């Protein structure tokens, strides 16, 4: 039984994200994610200016006048949402946790996809695959996916991106759009990640929170790693401690960004304290300009 609070969240999210899809992201999505190829639709008589390379010589010979083949872009695609629901996603220093932000962005992507008659599927993961819902079309299906993102209780305690992507690669035989939403608090995922990028159209949504990057001066505070359970006590009033913490986080961020760039992978950094509209719009437009 779904609680009233969850139903209220889903309804509010549907209204907010569908408005963004109708006004901003629906058209951007269609332009940014091209179909997988061209499919034959019909033959028609040749008219001046047509590409002579498309002449159908068999039909032309039978009718004693030139006919050409007409092709249309194969529009239907599959969008697979791979969402990290490990404990580190429960952190949020502003109005949303990282996980809630990931759910909202994935809802935008899902509603954009069904607006363009694409199928949408879902894989939720921690250090194991928690739930898989095969791709289908339709608004009811997308609402089910959102419900599952809100209500699925994870059993794993850490993050294994490689395990999730390995499952996706086995599940989807045809090239698809894979949206990976995670804070990327993981190691040694690169091999499977690169395989997925070659096989599919992989988009990495890196969900971040500013408080995880720069410590405020709060004095002596305990820090708990949500995924390992390890607790560390640090003195945040010590400027050297704050500087060293910031350097360490920045180094990890730079390594991840350089990895994406080096391997020509799409990625979007999105923070819990900022609107995701601008970074997502910029991402779509960069893709459109690229093609």
**pLDDT reported for residue 232:** 77
Residue 265 CA: distances (Å) to CA of 28, 196, 203, 260, 268? 19, 11, 7, 5, 10
Q: Is the pLDDT of residue 37 over 60?
A: no
Q: What is 4-31+75-210+251-290's CATH number, 1.10.10.60, 3.40.50.920, 3.30.40.10, 3.40.50.410? A: 3.40.50.410
Q: What is the mean pLDDT of residues 101-114?
A: 94
CB 155 within 8 A of CB 128: yes
Q: Which residues of 148-178 are buried (b: 16+ CB within 10 A; e: fewer)?
A: bbbeeebebebbbbbbbbbbbbeebeeebbb
CB 146 within 8 A of CB 120: no
**Phi-psi domain of 15 (left: phi exceeds 0; alpha: psi -120 through 50; beta: other):** alpha
Domain boundaries, the chain: 4-31+75-210+251-290, 39-72
Q: Which residues of 114-145 are buried (b: 16+ CB within 10 A; e: fewer)?
A: bbbebbbbbbbbbbebbbbbebeeeeebbbeb
Q: Is the pLDDT of residue 49 over 90?
A: no
Q: Is the pLDDT of residue 39 over 60?
A: no
Q: Is the pLDDT of residue 73 over 60?
A: no
Which band of pLDDT confidence, cut at 50, 70 and 90, is reported for residue 186?
very high
d(CA 42, CA 34) in angstroms, rounded, equals 21
According to DSSP, the residues that pair with 144 across neighbouring strands are none
**pLDDT reported for residue 224:** 65
% of the chain residues with pLDDT over 70: 92
Q: What is the mean pLDDT of residues 107-121?
A: 92
Helix (H) or strand (E) holding 163: helix 161-171
Q: What sign for the dihedral angle of Cα 203, 209, 215, 221?
A: negative
Alpha-carbon Rg of the chain, whole angstroms? 23
Which band of pLDDT confidence, cut at 50, 70 and 90, is reported for residue 54?
confident
Q: How do residues 127-168 score in pLDDT, each as one tens digit?
A: 999 999 999 999 999 999 999 999 999 999 899 999 999 999
Q: How do residues 19-30 score in pLDDT, each as one tens digit?
A: 888 877 878 888
Q: How do residues 213-269 score in pLDDT, each as one tens digit?
A: 887 777 787 766 666 667 777 777 778 878 888 898 899 999 999 999 999 999 999
pTM of the complete model = 0.82
């Amino acid at each position: 039984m779904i609680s009233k609070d969850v139903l209220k969240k889903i309804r509010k999210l549907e209204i907010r994200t569908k408005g963004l899809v109708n006004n901003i992201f629906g058209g951007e999505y269609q332009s940014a994610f091209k179909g997988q190829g061209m499919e034959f639709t019909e033959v028609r008589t040749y008219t001046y200016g047509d590409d002579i390379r498309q002449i159908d010589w068999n039909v032309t010979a039978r009718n004693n006048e030139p006919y050409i083949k007409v092709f249309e872009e194969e529009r239907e695609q599959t969008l697979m949402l791979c969402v990290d629901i490990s404990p580190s996603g429960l952190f949020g220093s502003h109005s949303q946790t990282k996980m809630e932000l990931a759910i909202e962005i994935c809802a935008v992507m899902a509603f954009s996809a069904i607006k363009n008659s694409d199928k949408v599927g879902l894989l939720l993961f921690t250090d194991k695959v928690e739930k898989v819902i095969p791709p289908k079309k339709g608004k009811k299906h997308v609402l089910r996916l959102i419900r599952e993102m809100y209500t699925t209780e994870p059993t794993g305690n850490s993050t294994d991106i490689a395990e999730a992507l390995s499952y996706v690669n086995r599940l989807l035989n045809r090239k698809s759009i894979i949206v990976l939403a995670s804070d990327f608090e993981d190691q040694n995922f690169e091999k499977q990640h690169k395989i997925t990028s070659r096989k599919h159209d992989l988009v990495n949504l890196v969900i971040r929170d500013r408080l995880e990057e720069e410590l405020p001066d709060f004095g002596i505070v305990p820090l708990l790693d949500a995924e390992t359970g390890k607790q560390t006590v640090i003195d945040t009033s010590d400027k050297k401690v704050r500087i060293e913490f910031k350097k360490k986080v920045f180094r990890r961020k730079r390594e991840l960004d350089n990895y994406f760039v080096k391997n020509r992978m799409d990625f979007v950094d999105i923070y819990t304290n900022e609107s995701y509209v601008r970074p997502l719009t910029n991402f779509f437009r960069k893709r459109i300009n690229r093609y």
